Structure 1
Amino acid sequence: MIVDRQGRRFRNLRVSLTSACNYACTYCVPNGKRLVAAQDELSAEAMVRGVAYLIEAAGIERLRITGGEPLVSPRLETFLRGVTPLGLDDISLTTNGQLLSRKLPLLLEAGIRRLNVSLDTLDPDHFRQIARGGDLATVLDGLERARAAGLKIKVNMVPLRGQNLDQVLPLLDYCLERGFELRFIELMRMGHLASDANGFLTQFVSLPQLLQVIGEHYEFLQTGAPVDATALRYEIPGQGVFGVIANESVPFCRTCSRLRLSSTGWLHGCLSSSNRHFVGDLLDKPRHQALPALQRLLVKALGDKQEVAFSGGATVMKIIGG
């Protein structure tokens, strides 16, 4: 087991199946162009070996499948069938929900029981303005079908000043009525926003500002969360729970246990570091050759983590998984 001086180790792995996405959200890409799959993306089989090796080398316990948009990846079915027998404590998936209705039978067959669905507004016009792709009604249909199938669902919203702040309460109402846990995610200094301080501050909504909006309509109390959780969780008595990933207001770097594997074979130990470590060539090697080299790279990746707070990163989030 690899542990740093703050007692952190890698427990949670996020695998980006593809950098391709059928959206071009304003807070992710600046030019409105949809992200496409990289030419050198790993095969599903190589990614499965990567997960297996990381379970052994780092002690990975939980896996989240991300992108880009993982449901657009042709590798999805093979990858799911490969990782489900690996003995992980939990396998979940993050999606924008556009293809959820279509892919739901596959997810259920593979044993997926938890989803995070990105949804920034319930207003169809604002949805098109923010996502620059997709259709709101299709996403909502996918959510209803997943709920009916018994999946545990969290909805991820990025509050943006001047774009969707008026949707905080409607989305919270929507989630409480359906038993979904709404997660508000503070805007991150990632990609183009890392170098555009004015653009970031113009849109940023802080934890205190968000709680003030919610507090005008709901009474809530902070409730418990796992030690290495990214979200602060709040209970609205008798109605449900919501969370806030307050990466700017209340940094969680001191307890971060996340490791990311990109679709092109790079390990990222920290979103706020430009360092990355190539493991793609190791995934074609037998276990006895791959594991020692992988462990050396994991030591470096763990060393990339910020000690106190996130300070921004030039990498586009969807390339390495949210």
Structure 2
Amino acid sequence: MVVDRQGRSFRNLRVSLTAACNYACTYCVPDGRRLVAASDELSAADMASAVTLLVEATEIDRLRITGGEPLVSAKLEPFLRLISGLEIKDISITSNGQLLAQRLPLLLEYGIRRLNVSLDTLDAQAFREIARSGDLGSVLHGLELARVAGVRIKVNMVPLRGANENQILPMLEYCLERGFELRFIELMRMGHLARDTANFSRQYFGMDEILELIGSQHTYIQAPAPLDSTALRYEIAGLGHFGIIANESAPFCRTCSRLRLSSSGWLYGCLSSSNRHALAPLLSKPHDEALSELQELLAGALADKRDSTFSGALIPMKAIGG
């Protein structure tokens, strides 16, 4: 097991099943064009082999399947089938929810009982302006079906000044009423926003402002969270919880245990680094040789982690898994 000087190791793997997405959210892509799958993406079998190697070489016991948008990928079913026998205590999926109603039976069949669904507003017009695609009603319908099926749901919202900050309280009420945990994600300096500092500053709506708004309607206290959690959690007595992923206000770098595998087979150890490490070539090598070389890659990826401050990187989040 590879451990750095701060005692961090990789325990949480995020796999970008595909770079393709049926949305073109304003904070993810600058030009309104949807991301499409790269021609060099790994097959479902190769992706499963990569995950198997990583689980063997590390203490990874949590896997989140991301994208792009994983529910658009034909690789989803074979990938889930191939990894179903691995000793991973928790497998979850992050999705925009557009295809959730159609894909829910497949997720339930393979034991997926935890979802993170990205939803930035309950206003249909604002939804189209931010996502630049999709249909709000379909997302809400999918969420309801998943709730009835007993799936644990977290809803991810990115507050954007001038676009949806007026939805913070309505989104909170919607989630509290349904037993969903709403997580506010501070706007991240990723992709085009790493360069466009003026646009980032104009849209950024931070933790203090979020808490001030919620405090105008609810009394809350900070709640316990796992040591390597990305979110600060809060409890509203008798109603439920919400969280804030405060990349700018309260970075979680010191305890980060996340490793990302891109759809093209690159390992990323830190969102504040564009450094990448090629895992794909190891898949054709003998098992022992691949494991030995993987340890070197993991050491490099772990060394990429920042000590305390999140700064973002030029690579888009959808390219490496949200």
For 2:289, the equivalent position in structure 1 comes to 289
> CA contact under 8 A between 1:267 and 1:301: conserved in structure 2?
yes
Mapped partners of 1:96, 1:296: distance in 2:
35
Give the 4+ runs in structure 1 shifted more than 4 A. Answer: none
For 1:109, the equivalent position in structure 2 comes to 109
Mapped partners of 1:151, 1:104: distance in 2:
10
Say which SS state the counterpart of residue 259 (structure 1) adopts: strand
Say which SS state the counterpart of residue 318 (structure 1) adopts: helix
Return the TM-score normalized by structure 2: 0.99
Instruction: Confirm or deny that 1:136 pairs with 2:121.
Output: no
1:204-252 CA distances to partner (integer Å, 9 max, x unpaired)? 0111111001100011000000000000000000000000000100011
For 1:171, the equivalent position in structure 2 comes to 171
Mapped partners of 1:17, 1:82: distance in 2:
13
Equivalent residue letter for 1:158: V
For 1:262, the equivalent position in structure 2 comes to 262
Say which SS state the counterpart of residue 84 (structure 2) adopts: helix
Mapped partners of 1:27, 1:117: distance in 2:
16
> CA contact under 8 A between 1:48 and 1:83: conserved in structure 2?
yes
Equivalent residue letter for 1:269: G
Say which SS state the counterpart of residue 222 (structure 2) adopts: strand
Per-residue deviation, 1:9: 0.3
Mapped partners of 1:238, 1:312: distance in 2:
37
Equivalent residue letter for 1:297: L
1:47-92 CA distances to partner (integer Å, 9 max, x unpaired)? 1111110011122110000000000011000000111210101000
Return the TM-score normalized by structure 1: 0.99
For 2:86, the equivalent position in structure 1 comes to 86
Equivalent residue letter for 2:226: P
Say which SS state the counterpart of residue 205 (structure 2) adopts: coil
Mapped partners of 1:224, 1:84: distance in 2:
31
Mapped partners of 1:154, 1:321: distance in 2:
17
Mapped partners of 2:17, 2:286: distance in 1:
22
Per-residue deviation, 1:284: 2.5
The 5-angstrom pairing of residues 234-249 of structure 1 reads 234-249=234-249
Equivalent residue letter for 2:50: G
Say which SS state the counterpart of residue 274 (structure 1) adopts: coil
1:139-171 CA distances to partner (integer Å, 9 max, x unpaired)? 000000000100000000000000000000000
Equivalent residue letter for 1:309: T
Per-residue deviation, 1:285: 2.4
Mapped partners of 1:84, 1:304: distance in 2:
30
Say which SS state the counterpart of residue 242 (structure 2) adopts: strand
Per-residue deviation, 1:16: 0.2
How many corresponding residue pairs?
322
The 5-angstrom pairing of residues 270-289 of structure 1 reads 270-289=270-289
Mapped partners of 2:303, 2:58: distance in 1:
14
Mapped partners of 1:295, 1:119: distance in 2:
37
Per-residue deviation, 1:321: 0.3
- Which runs of 5 or more residues in structure 1 are unaligned? none
Mapped partners of 1:41, 1:109: distance in 2:
25
Identity rate, percent: 67
Equivalent residue letter for 1:200: F
Mapped partners of 2:298, 2:41: distance in 1:
21
Mapped partners of 1:286, 1:15: distance in 2:
23
Equivalent residue letter for 1:135: D
> CA contact under 8 A between 1:154 and 1:182: conserved in structure 2?
yes
Equivalent residue letter for 1:307: D
Per-residue deviation, 1:286: 3.0
Mapped partners of 1:129, 1:160: distance in 2:
12
Per-residue deviation, 1:41: 0.2
For 1:305, the equivalent position in structure 2 comes to 305
Mapped partners of 1:309, 1:91: distance in 2:
28
For 1:153, the equivalent position in structure 2 comes to 153
> CA contact under 8 A between 1:94 and 1:115: conserved in structure 2?
yes
Instruction: Confirm or deny that 1:31 pairs with 2:31.
Output: yes
For 1:9, the equivalent position in structure 2 comes to 9
For 1:184, the equivalent position in structure 2 comes to 184
Mapped partners of 2:298, 2:87: distance in 1:
21
1:24-58 CA distances to partner (integer Å, 9 max, x unpaired)? 00000000000000000001001111111001112
Equivalent residue letter for 1:294: L
Instruction: Confirm or deny that 1:60 pairs with 2:64.
Output: no
> CA contact under 8 A between 1:46 and 1:284: conserved in structure 2?
no
Per-residue deviation, 1:287: 1.6
Mapped partners of 1:64, 1:283: distance in 2:
21
Equivalent residue letter for 2:269: G
- Which runs of 5 or more residues in structure 2 are unaligned? none
Mapped partners of 1:17, 1:285: distance in 2:
22
